[in-house]
């Protein structure tokens, strides 16, 4: 959290994030945190930073790309081990699912993701990062009814951060490019002044 630049996402309350990082008010309730925003907005950084702080506070946390966890759960389902796999995940106070929007129903049967959400509902916490708002989640779950049911469970006890800012990576690249242009312009002016002096 010390390296997260809150000034770049002014709509996110630092005090609220720091409260989440203690864990007490939400992990005991099995509540959810949802971080929405375009690629490069800092969702993964903020999610993992909260996770690190919670580990330091003594909680058990797992951070995983959503598509990777879906593949693991799908493999467990195919080998008739899904209930056992979900039970093993219960040992984590918080599971951070990064990039939910990249789990696609046409890649694999993501109904296992719904089963994870339903299994943890009001018992164990989830933190989810997503590039798309809820309206785009029909691309993730196999049918609209499942999408509605998943969203209903996630928002019931949730903290939602909307991080709708320009990509940090794009801003950094643009700043570097502008800096090089200014340096080049300054060098050209110096060279011109030197030529005139000669």
Tens-digit pLDDT profile for residues 15-60: 999 999 999 889 999 999 999 999 888 999 999 999 999 999 999 9
User: Helical H runs in the chain?
Assistant: 14-22, 24-27, 43-56, 66-78, 82-89, 111-120, 144-156, 168-197
3-state helix, strand, coil in the chain (%, to 5): 55, 15, 30
pTM of the model: 0.82
Digit-coded pLDDT (tens) for 69-127 = 999 999 999 999 999 999 999 999 999 999 998 887 765 678 899 999 999 999 999 99
CA 185 to CA 191: how far, in whole Å?
10
> Contact 82/76 with Cβ under 8 angstroms?
yes
Side by side, the strands of the sheet bearing 94-98 are 61-65, 94-98, 125-130, 32-36, 158-162
The gap between the terminal CA atoms of the chain, to the nearest Å, is 54
Question: Which fold would CATH assign to domain 6-165?
Answer: Rossmann fold (3.40.50)
| The pLDDT of residue 181 | 64
CA 109 to CA 78: how far, in whole Å?
11
């Amino acid at each position: 959290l010390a390296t997260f630049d809150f000034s770049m996402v002014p709509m996110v309350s630092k005090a609220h994030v720091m409260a989440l990082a203690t864990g007490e008010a939400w992990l005991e309730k099995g509540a959810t945190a949802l971080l929405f925003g375009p690629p490069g907005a800092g969702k993964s950084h903020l999610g993992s930073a909260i996770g690190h702080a919670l580990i330091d506070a003594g909680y058990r946390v797992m951070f995983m790309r959503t598509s990777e966890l879906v593949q693991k759960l799908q493999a467990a389902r195919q080998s008739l081990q899904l209930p056992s796999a979900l039970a093993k995940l219960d040992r984590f106070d918080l599971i951070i699912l990064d990039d939910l929007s990249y789990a696609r129903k046409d890649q694999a049967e993501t109904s296992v993701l719904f089963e994870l959400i339903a299994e943890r509902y009001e018992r164990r916490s989830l933190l989810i990062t997503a590039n798309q708002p809820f309206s785009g989640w029909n691309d993730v779950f196999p049918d609209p009814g499942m999408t509605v049911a998943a969203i209903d469970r996630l928002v019931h006890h949730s903290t939602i951060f909307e991080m709708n800012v320009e990509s940090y990576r794009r801003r950094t690249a643009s700043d570097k490019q502008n800096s090089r242009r200014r340096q080049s312009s300054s060098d050209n002016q110096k060279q011109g002044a030197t030529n005139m002096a000669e």
